[in-house]
Amino acid sequence: MTDLLKAIDGPADVRLLSRSQLKELAQELRAFILESVSKTGGHLSSNLGTVELSIALHYVFNTPYDRLIWDVGHQTYPHKVLTGRRERMPTLRQLGGLSGFPRRQESEYDAFGTAHSSTSISAALGMAIAAHLKGEDRRAVAIIGDGAMSAGMAFEALNNGGVAKGNLLVILNDNDMSISPPVGALNRYLAQLMSGRFYAAAKEVGKQVLKSAPPLFELARRIEEHAKGMVVPATLFEEFGFNYIGPIDGHDLDSLVPTLENIRQLSGPQFLHVVTKKGQGYSLAERDPVTYHGPGKFDPQVGIVPPATAPKKTFTQVFGDWVCDMAQQDAQLIAITPAMREGSGLVEFEKRFPDRYFDVGIAEQHALTFAAGLACEGFKPVVAIYSTFLQRAYDQVIHDVALQKLPMVLALDRAGIVGADGATHAGVFDIPFLRCVPHVSVATPADEAETRALLSTAFAQDHCVAVRYPRGSGVGTPVPQDLKGLPFGKGETRRVGRKIAIVAFGPLLYAALEVAQELDLTVLNMRWAKPLDEELLLSVAKEHDALVTLEDSALMGGAGSAVLEALQNAQVVKPVLMLGLPDQFTEHGDPVKLMSLAGLDAPGIKASVTKRFKDLLS
């Protein structure tokens, strides 16, 4: 890190620099981001692509008085560095350290907490309207990626924003060069021209004059659209009521700064289209932005090196293998993902079954209803989706799928605590919010082998079944190659002990078995949170003095609650200790440490059981 970046303790310091120094700052900031992320892990490609944009925004706008809202937020590392958090970057995504996403509690420069996509325009519009109502001359800027524009919520906000009063700027950060025309000097000139006050004023005067002669007004409108159409993708955003500017090179500060300065002088809804490149400035990430999207620690001089020994198969890979094998056997299987092909394990499926693979973009609501339409016509949809992102399609689960009792499999990746991504990505609410919906079942496999088997079981049902499994690897159980399922809604007794029975749901089964071995307890592997195997549960409850429920999910309304309901309905009165995640959001950090802090590792479970049932264990 050179002296220039060291002198930046906040955006006010950026504004003291000359325009020529901004380019030098961009080089230093990009090098710092690369070096920092290589030591901590985190999002890389996206952040290398927003260096110049971050500098230009803080240089032109009076942050934090002017509000910057970054969509998704995984491209905000440059923003964090420029807003006084440079020294804390070594703590990124670690317990007690910086979040990998914008967070209001972390900095006054983080105007809105983001981590799920397509929320920025709505939030920025709310802030712009608030400023208007309070008579404040502030700007609200939403920076949204092209992928996030595929979500309906973004277009809902545009539809509202184009007719609302408020100084709103939407910046489309387009990092897919293939969908945009070439950018260069002509585009730079036109962008600055179209963002200038003279152009805006002349345009408005021209409208008023020509409106008295409708044929001339219509002719002028069409000429303008045609002229813009030669250098911009479309006039779609102007149809929403925004003044469209661009596209401009998002890495060219000589283009960004004057264009933003012009826009800052304009009133009303503005739309700026900038073109950036993921991984900009680091050749390895430029060539392979997907691999370098969210790497772990690596040597930037060497790049990401595959491990020498094959790691244990992840749950995601187990699903990826299963969905290909099942599709080979059943031609009615259709795989759907909302823009998570790699993360959900569908890369191989797309290669082998391209006609039965649908990436619908960041559009979770559409994904579920699209699947429902396929199910109506006799196909068997498998929707691969992160647990936390299914939350965004809850109405569709109820109204479009469950109410009509349509068969489909919801493959819920990243269930439970996810670690470094933190509270926004933790899949801890799926059992409570799915368990209460009629015609929806919830499977909780304990390991890799059960995941494959329960996916097959789910696929054979005549209603919606969610199969939830965690991020990363399990205990390494061998995964059979057949497609045999397990009995629907049935659990098993894994260990017979005395006095106390642990009723385990999901991967925590193995911590339960470790504790049970030490304390001589019975262990049930329930496999299903809904339907609950009440026959097994009640038979064990009657033979034991107490029960312990165990889940990597929110306790309120979760699997433990299902156990209590079943005991109550059967009028079986036994003391029950419920272990799971409390009524609070889980911080980012190492998942092993987080599970330990929650008391959900073997020592924590043992301590809780011993404390509650000390008399029974003596």
- pLDDT tens sequence across 450-479: 999 999 999 999 999 999 999 999 999 999
User: What is the rounded distance in angstroms from the CA atom of residue 398 to the CA atom of residue 376?
Assistant: 15
User: Among 615, 605, 603, which Cα is nearest to 578's?
Assistant: 605
* Architecture (CATH level 2) of domain 315-468: 3-Layer(aba) Sandwich (3.40)
Please say whether the beta carbons of 563 and 576 come within 8 A.
yes
User: What is the rounded distance in angstroms from the CA atom of residue 500 to the CA atom of residue 281?
Assistant: 60
pLDDT above 90: percentage of residues in the chain: 73
User: What is the rounded distance in angstroms from the CA atom of residue 392 to the CA atom of residue 367?
Assistant: 11
User: What is the rounded distance in angstroms from the CA atom of residue 363 to the CA atom of residue 375?
Assistant: 18
Bridge-based pairing of strands 440-443 and 528-530 is: antiparallel
On the question of pLDDT at 207 being above 90, the answer is no
**The CATH fold of domain 3-287:** Rossmann fold (3.40.50)
Please say whether the beta carbons of 238 and 170 come within 8 A.
no
- Residue 197 confidence class, pLDDT cut points 50, 70, 90: low
On the question of pLDDT at 246 being above 90, the answer is no
User: What is the rounded distance in angstroms from the CA atom of residue 200 to the CA atom of residue 243?
Assistant: 9
Would you call 278 a catalytic residue per the annotation? yes
Bridge-based pairing of strands 168-174 and 140-145 is: parallel
- Catalytically annotated residue among 392, 471, 530, 606: 392
Q: Express each pLDDT in 288-311 by its tens digit.
A: 888 888 888 988 888 898 877 667
Helix (H) or strand (E) holding 386: strand 380-386
Q: Express each pLDDT in 317-359 by its tens digit.
A: 999 999 999 999 999 999 999 988 999 999 999 999 999 999 9
Tokens of 570: 């059967």
Tell me where in the chain the CATH 3.40.50.970 domain(s) lie. 3-287, 315-468
User: What is the rounded distance in angstroms from the CA atom of residue 22 to the CA atom of residue 37?
Assistant: 22
Domain at 492-617, CATH class: alpha beta
For residue 188, the model assigns a pLDDT of 58
- Phi then psi for residue 171, to 5 deg, are -110, 115
Query: DSSP per residue over 310-363, as a string?
Result: PPPPBHHHHHHHHHHHHHHH-TTEEEEESS-TTTTT-HHHHHH-GGGEEE--S-
Mean pLDDT value across residues 530-544: 97
Task: Output the average pLDDT for the chain.
Answer: 89
On the question of pLDDT at 205 being above 70, the answer is no
Hey, which bits of 75-233 come out as E strands?
A: 140-145, 168-174
On the question of pLDDT at 178 being above 50, the answer is no
Residues 390-395: contacts with CB within 8 Å, 24+ apart?
A: 390/364, 390/430, 390/466, 391/429, 391/433, 392/116, 392/364, 392/365, 393/364, 393/365, 393/367, 393/368, 394/433, 395/365
Would you call 364 a catalytic residue per the annotation? yes
For residue 193, the model assigns a pLDDT of 52
Between CA 354 and CA 358, with CA 356 as vertex, the angle to 5 degrees is: 85
Collapsing DSSP states into helix, strand and coil, what is residue 82?
Answer: helix
- Phi then psi for residue 479, to 5 deg, are -105, 120
Would you call 606 a catalytic residue per the annotation? no
Tokens of 388: 């936390």
Between CA 524 and CA 533, with CA 528 as vertex, the angle to 5 degrees is: 65
- Catalytically annotated residue among 52, 364, 448, 450: 364
Tell me where in the chain the CATH 3.40.50.920 domain(s) lie. 492-617
Calculate the dihedral angle through the C-alpha atoms of 28, 30, 31, 37, rounding to the nearest 10 degrees: 140
Taking each helix axis from N to C terminus, what angle separates 197-210 and 214-229, rounded to the nearest 10 degrees?
Answer: 150
For residue 200, the model assigns a pLDDT of 55
Mean pLDDT value across residues 85-111: 93
Beta bridge partners of 299: 303
User: What is the rounded distance in angstroms from the CA atom of residue 145 to the CA atom of residue 160?
Assistant: 19
Q: Express each pLDDT in 12-68 by its tens digit.
A: 999 999 999 999 999 999 999 999 999 999 999 999 999 999 999 999 999 999 999
- Catalytically annotated residue among 86, 103, 188, 278: 278
For residue 177, the model assigns a pLDDT of 40
User: What is the rounded distance in angstroms from the CA atom of residue 123 to the CA atom of residue 115?
Assistant: 13
On the question of pLDDT at 422 being above 70, the answer is yes
| pTM for the model | 0.87
Tokens of 201: 């004023």
